[in-house]
Amino acid sequence: MKPKILITRKIADEVVSKISEVCEVDMWPDEERPIPREILEKKVEDIEGIFCLITETIDEKLLNNAPKLKVISNMAVGHNNIDINVAKERGITVTNTPGVLTETTADLTFALLMATSRRIIEASNFIRNGNWKAWAPMQLTGQDVFGTTIGIIGMGRIGEAVARRAKGFDMKVLYYNRNRKHDIEEMLGVHYTDMDTLLQQSDFVVIMAPYTPETNNLISHRELSLMKNSAILINTARGGIVDEDALYQALKNNGIWAAGLDVFATEPVPFDHPLLTLPNVVTLPHIGSASIRTRIKMAHLAADNLINGVTGKIPAHVVV
Ligand code: DGY
C-alpha cells in the first residue's frame, strides 16, 4: 500500500505526478490561498507525510493530530513555521529546500536594493500620475550603489550570493554572522565586523539571517539609531527580524533614508499598515524566490525530500 501524504496547496502537475508514483496523494486544490486550519487539522490525522508551505503553521497542536506523520517537507529554505523541537521529540523528519533558491533570492535582494536607492517605484509612479513636467537637476535623486558599503547580517548561502553581486558594484562588503567565515572572507574579500560597526558604517544594511527566537526584533530602535541617515535597510529574510514600529519611526523621522521589504511580521501585510503609507519604502509580497524556474525546482526538491522521508530513505536536506 502506498503511504498517504498531504500536499497543502495546488502545485505543478509534473511534481504531483512524481509524488503520486510513490504515494497516495491528497492535495488541497487552491493555488492562491492556504488550506483553512480546521481542514488541515482533520486532514493530517492519517497521513505519513506532508508537503507544506510557509503559510502552514506546523505546531504542537497540529502534530498531536498526526500520529502517523514521518516527514514534514517544507517547500522553503526557512522553517520558522514548523515547531522543530516538537517534531524532533517525536522522531518526525523535517526537510527544507536550500540551494536551489540562492541566486534567485540574491537577485531579488539586489533588485530591492537598487529600487530603493534609485527610487524606481516612485519615479515610475511620477510619470504615471502625470507629474513629469520637465527634467530637473535634483528631481527624484537617490543614493548611489556603486562604490558604497554594504553590511550583510547573516552570511549563509544567500548572504554570500549577495556579497558576490555587491563586489560587481565595487562595494565594500561588511558582514556579521554567528560564526566567522574565513573561507568567504578570503574568496570574496569581505570583512567581518560586530553588529554595531556594521550598522554604523554601512550604506545598505541587508538582513539575511534566519528567523529564530534570538533574531526576533534584532533590528529595533537602538540598531536603527546607529545607522546613517542616508542608509537603506533591506529585508528579504523574515519580517519578525525587524521591529516594524521602530522601522516606521526611523523612516518617518529621517533616521534612515529608505527600506526595501519583501517580508513582514504578519503576512499578508495588512493593507492599512503604517509602513505602506511611506514613500521611502518599497514593499513586495514575499517574492524572493519567485522565478518560475526556481519555484519549480523548489517543488521538485520538496517532493524528493518527502518521497525519501516516507519510503525510509534519508532525504537530501534534513533540518532535524
Ligand atoms: C524561503 O524559502 O524560506 C522563502 O522565504 C520562501 O521561498
Residues 196, 220, single domain; the answer is yes
- What's residue 56's pLDDT? 98
238 annotated active-site? yes
Residues 95, 110, single domain; the answer is no
Q: Specify if 209 maps to a domain.
A: yes
Q: What is the mean pLDDT of residues 191-201?
A: 98
Grid coordinates representing 267 are 503576512
* Pocket residue to mutate for ligand 1, from 54, 103, 208, most atoms within 8 A of Cβ: 54
Residues 95, 106, single domain; the answer is no
Q: From the CA of 98, how far away is ligand 1's center (Å)?
A: 9
Q: Which residue of the set 9, 79, 119, 286 is catalytic? A: 286
Residues 258, 301, single domain; the answer is no
128 annotated active-site? no
Residues 20, 78, single domain; the answer is yes
Residues 264, 147, single domain; the answer is yes
Residues 219, 297, single domain; the answer is no
Of the candidates 80, 85, 78, 23, the one whose C-alpha atom is nearest the C-alpha of residue 57 is 80
- 54 touches ligand 1 (CB under 6 Å): yes
pLDDT tier for residue 37 given thresholds of 50, 70 and 90: very high
Going by alpha carbons, the residue nearest to atom 2 of ligand 1 is 76
Going by alpha carbons, the residue nearest to atom 1 of ligand 1 is 76
Using DSSP bridges, classify how beta strands 49-52 and 71-74 pair: parallel, antiparallel or unpaired: parallel
- What's residue 311's pLDDT? 98
Q: Which residue of the set 9, 238, 295, 317 is catalytic? A: 238
> What distance lies between CA 128 and its chain's CA centroid?
30
Q: Specify if 317 maps to a domain.
A: no
- What's residue 314's pLDDT? 98
Q: Specify if 300 maps to a domain.
A: yes
Residues 86, 116, single domain; the answer is no
Q: What is the mean pLDDT of residues 298-313?
A: 98
Q: What is the pLDDT of residues 124-159, one digit of tens each?
A: 999 999 999 999 999 999 999 999 999 999 999 999
* Pocket residue to mutate for ligand 1, from 52, 82, 101, 207, most atoms within 8 A of Cβ: 101
Q: From the CA of 236, how far away is ligand 1's center (Å)?
A: 9
- 99 touches ligand 1 (CB under 6 Å): no
Q: Specify if 315 maps to a domain.
A: no
CA distances from 246 to 176, 238, 242 (A): 21, 16, 8
Grid coordinates representing 107 are 537577485
pLDDT tier for residue 300 given thresholds of 50, 70 and 90: very high
Q: What is the mean pLDDT of residues 41-53?
A: 98
Grid coordinates representing 300 are 521538485
Q: Specify if 156 maps to a domain.
A: yes
60 annotated active-site? no
pLDDT tier for residue 117 given thresholds of 50, 70 and 90: very high
Determine contact, residues 27/47, Cβ cutoff 8 Å: no
- How many angstroms separate the CA atoms of 179 and 182, rounded? 9
Q: What is the mean pLDDT of residues 206-235?
A: 98
Looking at the structure of the chain, the number of domains it has is: 2
pLDDT tier for residue 273 given thresholds of 50, 70 and 90: very high
Residues 201, 265, single domain; the answer is yes
Residues 260, 135, single domain; the answer is yes
- How many angstroms separate the CA atoms of 82 and 73, rounded? 10
Strands of the sheet containing 4-7, edge to edge, are: 24-27, 4-7, 49-52, 71-74, 93-95
| Residue 81 identity (one-letter amino acid) | N
Burial class (CB in 10 A: 0-12, 13-18, 19+), 91: exposed
Q: From the CA of 245, how far away is ligand 1's center (Å)?
A: 24
Q: Specify if 271 maps to a domain.
A: yes
Q: What is the mean pLDDT of residues 296-309?
A: 98
Residues 249, 296, single domain; the answer is no
Residues 114, 78, single domain; the answer is no
Q: What is the mean pLDDT of residues 180-198?
A: 98
Q: Specify if 273 maps to a domain.
A: yes
Where residue 58 sits, what CATH number does that domain have?
3.40.50.720
- 289 touches ligand 1 (CB under 6 Å): yes
Q: From the CA of 135, how far away is ligand 1's center (Å)?
A: 41
Domain that holds residue 46: 4-99+292-310
Q: From the CA of 296, how far away is ligand 1's center (Å)?
A: 13
Q: Specify if 203 maps to a domain.
A: yes
Find out whether the peptide bond into 268 is cis, omega within 30 degrees of 0. Answer: yes
